[in-house]
Structure 1
Amino acid sequence: MTERIKIIELSDIILNFYKGMVISEVKDDVVFEIEHVEQLLKICNEVYEGAEYVYISDRKNNYNVNPTIYFELKDVKSLLGIAIVSQRYEALKIANFEKQFSPVPFDIFSHMDEARAWAKTLL
């Protein structure tokens, strides 16, 4: 595993930054909205200084995502892909629904090491 560059803890989300990938953990009962996306994009742009990266969502907690957030990503050149990681059937089913809204490569995994390997193929 590559070394963590930085960790940022926000009120709703914990972000772990690695070379070329950020792994997020959204806290329980959050409704993930456009404001969250804007905040994340701003932070990722600062940390990666405009360089390309892959976003990995570690969905171990139970929260909701507004699928329209993906429309915000269509002009984000530095975002190469989104991976969703969960072992919960319900979370995987929802991620599969979200996938149709994503303008960037979007894949779903049940293990973090699979998501990291996929991310490396995009970088």
Structure 2
Amino acid sequence: MTQRIKTIKLIDIDLEFYDRMVISKVKEDVVFQLAHVEQILRICNEVFEGRNYVYISNRSNNYNVNPTIYFELKEIKSLSGIAIVSERFEALKVANFEKQFSPIPFDIFSNMDEARAWAKTLLKKAGL
């Protein structure tokens, strides 16, 4: 497993940074909205210094996502893809709905190892 570079704990979200990957864990009962996305993108831009990365969402908690947030991602050139990870059927079903809104590569996994492997493959395809 890749070494963690940094951990940042926000009010609603914990972020763990690895080489070209960030794993987020949103807290229980949060409504994940555009303000959260903007905050995460700002932090990722600082940590990754504009280099490409993959965002992995660890959906172990129950929370809601406003699917229109994905429309804002089409302009973010450094975000190479989004992976959703959950063992909960309901979370995977919701993620499958959200996938329709994503303008960038978006995949769904039941474990973190698969998501990390997908992220590495995605970055490698992009020549990074």
Q: TM-score, normalised by structure 2?
A: 0.96
Q: Whole-Å Cα distance in 1 between the matches of residues 104 and 113 of structure 2?
A: 20
For the residues of structure 1 that align with 2:111 and 2:87, how far apart are their CA atoms? Answer: 7
Show structure 2 runs of 5+ residues with no match.
124-128
Percent identical across equivalent pairs?
77
User: 1:106 maps to what in 2?
Assistant: 106
2:20 alignment partner AA: G
Give runs of ≥4 in structure 1 deviating > 3 Å.
none
Secondary structure of the structure 2 residue equivalent to 1:102: coil
Aligned to 2:32: 32
- Measure, in 1, the Cα distance between the counterparts of 2:90 and 2:108: 13
Q: Which residue in 2 is equivalent to 1:19? A: 19
2: CA distance, partners of 1:37 / 1:68: 11
TM score, norm. by length of structure 1: 1.00
Return 5+ residue gaps in structure 1 as ranges. Answer: none
Aligned to 2:60: 60
Count of paired positions: 123
* Aligned residues: CA RMSD: 0.3
Alpha-carbon distance, 1:46 to partner:
0.2
Q: How does 1:69-80 map to 2 (within 5 A)?
A: 69-80=69-80
- 1:43 corresponds to: 43
